[in-house]
Structure 1
């Protein structure tokens, strides 16, 4: 009763004070989130969380904005399950207060989709991204910066689903808009350049991809400096490119640089840090440094199982490469178990016709061949070939290599599924 009396007497002053605090914290959170370095917001995190939770009781637009910024910070920090909760709260408020066709509602759909995709919930994420794009194209037009953001997120979604041609098309549309609206040196332009580069690597166009990666790195280095998550991402992707080009020593150098930055800024247990550890482990294995490679791959696996879950596609990447390493060490039973676990995850999360599913089938096939079971091995490799022909195309390096492998498995002409 006393509290109610005080609030009644001091109502306006209390409300003004609350509004001042919310505005101050929201502005600071927005500013730091735009920088893209979650470590800078750690000192504010407890205050932002408290203010957002209190504001949620009102279920107004100010509460939605606070939840949106807190969710974005948590997502950048790698806490996708909790970021999802705040994005869902913001979306619910905006749908009720602003309606289904408002640009702010689209932003909430977009960010919720990001958290869902990062958590491996691809079907739900795709619905969110498509809804955000539809709203933005209608409300803002086809050449608006926010429309480009939605196109980029859909590109990532298609990439995760294994539709690499569609991914490249969406990335290029986003890049085209960004170049017109934001210019050649904007961070979002760098992001879209980077993503076009990734799609080119995945379809085997490595020379063109390198040009996109270097452009993205140059922009981010000029804006943020080397010690930034986005710059580290560019270094990681340059390493990934050289890995795919058969240059493991050069790949190792890039991955070590990216890992050092990510450990320093994001922490040891962040998903991006795990990515660099995994990639560094792969580069070391390719050079025959198996003990070091095993250390990095096992550490990455532990982080991913803890942060992303045991059934996440990125967890399967570690399992798959640990299987290859154990096969190199002659630990066949352990390798088989890792390959089977990776295949089960990929079939469940990505589907039976995904390039990563083909990787697992191919690895199991080669292991069976080493064990002398060439008939069963051929069945697995045939399945891998069929998937790669469908998703990557006849001329992709992996497709060509799989066909050669299949021919070597049998003295007769292989049957292509």
Structure 2
């Protein structure tokens, strides 16, 4: 305890492997009796008093034993720090402060260097799950350097860490770099463990997720289907990993326009998870959100609203208002309310999503951009053009800062903004004149880039089979033509103004010339 953080230490870190509960309780009881430590009510966490903590460190230093205990603490943390799965987050949160101390211990031997690398890799996985991508990437790079130093280039641990780095890069928005690392890691793991191994399937699923982020939907669907087929054969239809694979299939099918098939796999995944998981489980929540989105996009608004409200109530009860996972349910609810014409409620929830995203994520995170764009689109449809312009331009600035000026996403956002400016005087563009509110929002849907249409929940079925390259070409051409037309109008205005000024000057000259001839001044 003396070489760990002064805060509460979970008993799992202190209890030795093979030590009975009776022996452990007796040892802790002696320390408590001398007031060296105290414990919580359930005696699951122990804390050393600050003065005792400092004095013990000084004593270890004087006895030249501190390095020995630091080495032991490093080994314990490397072994017992969880892998970072969602169901382990509470445990990770308790251990993380102690791991943060241990990771900075000075180590020289090869064995301790590898233990530190393993610890850093696990810590990186946890902070990545908390959307802290820069600290995660830094630790993955340090772990990779340690593995490489020991010449373990094709070692399974090295390849797993490489895969983790690829996934982190994907979440950072560097999907192309991430794909290279994921392909290399997955190929190496497949060679070592075999093409049907479950670990190979896990890394293939990561690669598919990366491809999905790059709009390579057909390839992503093919890989996800392979993962699902293999897991089903090995684990069975009702296993959680199999059901997760089924849930993963939903988004690529949705993006490919196969909405009915996407709904079917999502319904099966949610139904299976509800039978085996508690209501608060993260995997069940994410599967339910995917199902809500597809129901909303298929126009099954009452069912989507009911599912979104139920999910939102569960999340609020577990995490409280403002938590990032509450944002998904709130956003889906906002879209379903909008499509039913309940625009005041939709605006309220859409604004709440923006506030949650900005509080939980970096300013230029894709989820922040998506939330702001969705709010801008809502104002756009309600003819609140001033507010829509503010949010479109804010969204555009963030996207350009994150992805660059010529990236398809900011160009497509600019295209939608220009489209709004061009049609601001169109009196027929009013949701009350349409058969249903959803029909209006479908008409207003972004035409240049289907990804934006998916952002706001109104994809055009006629554009699902369009080639992404063709869409991008249309987007760039639309923006260029619009700006060229605006430039032409400005040039023509300047020419006309110039001609008027020239005409005035000529007329003035002619008038004065006539006056000079007609009126003698001498």
- Counterpart for residue 91 of structure 1: 144
Task: Output one character per residue of 1:339-372: Cα deviation in whole Å (capped at 9) or x when no partner.
Answer: 3444565576399786896577357525532434
- Counterpart for residue 22 of structure 1: 77
Q: CA deviation at 1:265?
A: 4.5
Task: Output one character per residue of 1:10-66: Cα deviation in whole Å (capped at 9) or x when no partner.
Answer: 876x3685367436633xx24xx4463523543333234333444878762222222
Q: Which ranges in structure 1 are unaligned for 5 or more consecutive residues?
A: 375-380, 403-413
Aligned to 2:375, which of 322, 329, 338? 322
Deviates more, 1:101-110 or 1:264-273: 264-273
Task: Tell me if the contact between 1:346 and 1:357 (Cα under 8 Å) persists in the aligned partners.
Answer: no
Query: Does 2:356 match 1:299?
Result: no
Task: Tell me if the contact between 2:159 and 2:189 (Cα under 8 Å) persists in the aligned partners.
Answer: yes
- Counterpart for residue 38 of structure 1: 89
Please list, as runs of the form range in 1=range in 2, the aligned pairs for 1:120-131 lying within 5 A after superposition.
120-131=173-184
Task: Output one character per residue of 1:93-123: Cα deviation in whole Å (capped at 9) or x when no partner.
Answer: 2233352212211211222222222232323
Q: Which ranges in structure 2 are unaligned for 5 or more consecutive residues?
A: 1-57, 429-442, 467-477, 482-522
- Counterpart for residue 241 of structure 1: 294
Query: Does 2:463 match 1:399?
Result: yes
Task: Tell me if the contact between 2:243 and 2:269 (Cα under 8 Å) persists in the aligned partners.
Answer: yes
Deviates more, 1:181-190 or 1:35-44: 35-44
- Counterpart for residue 100 of structure 2: 49
Task: Output one character per residue of 1:301-347: Cα deviation in whole Å (capped at 9) or x when no partner.
Answer: 23323433232222222122111221233211221332344456557
Query: Does 2:282 match 1:225?
Result: no
Shift in alpha-carbon separation, 1:269–1:22, aligned structure 2, 3 A? same
- Decide which structure has greater helix share: 1
Alpha-carbon separation, structure 1, partners of 2:372 and 2:67: 58
- Counterpart for residue 255 of structure 1: 308
Q: CA deviation at 1:396?
A: 6.5
Query: Does 2:178 match 1:140?
Result: no
Q: TM-score, normalised by structure 1?
A: 0.78
Please list, as runs of the form range in 1=range in 2, the aligned pairs for 1:65-84 lying within 5 A after superposition.
65-84=118-137
Shift in alpha-carbon separation, 1:228–1:255, aligned structure 2, 3 A? same
- Counterpart for residue 252 of structure 2: 199
| SS of match in other structure, 1:7 | coil
Task: Tell me if the contact between 1:144 and 1:181 (Cα under 8 Å) persists in the aligned partners.
Answer: no
Q: CA deviation at 1:181?
A: 3.4
Q: CA deviation at 1:193?
A: 0.9
Q: CA deviation at 1:76?
A: 2.7
| SS of match in other structure, 1:60 | helix
Shift in alpha-carbon separation, 1:81–1:171, aligned structure 2, 3 A? same
Alpha-carbon separation, structure 1, partners of 2:465 and 2:394: 24
| SS of match in other structure, 1:162 | coil
Alpha-carbon separation, structure 2, partners of 1:385 and 1:326: 18
Task: Output one character per residue of 1:254-280: Cα deviation in whole Å (capped at 9) or x when no partner.
Answer: 222333344454565554332322222
Task: Output one character per residue of 1:121-158: Cα deviation in whole Å (capped at 9) or x when no partner.
Answer: 32332232222212212222222222212221121112
Q: CA deviation at 1:241?
A: 0.7
- Counterpart for residue 403 of structure 2: 349
Task: Tell me if the contact between 1:228 and 1:261 (Cα under 8 Å) persists in the aligned partners.
Answer: no
Task: Tell me if the contact between 1:171 and 1:192 (Cα under 8 Å) persists in the aligned partners.
Answer: yes
Alpha-carbon separation, structure 1, partners of 2:321 and 2:172: 19
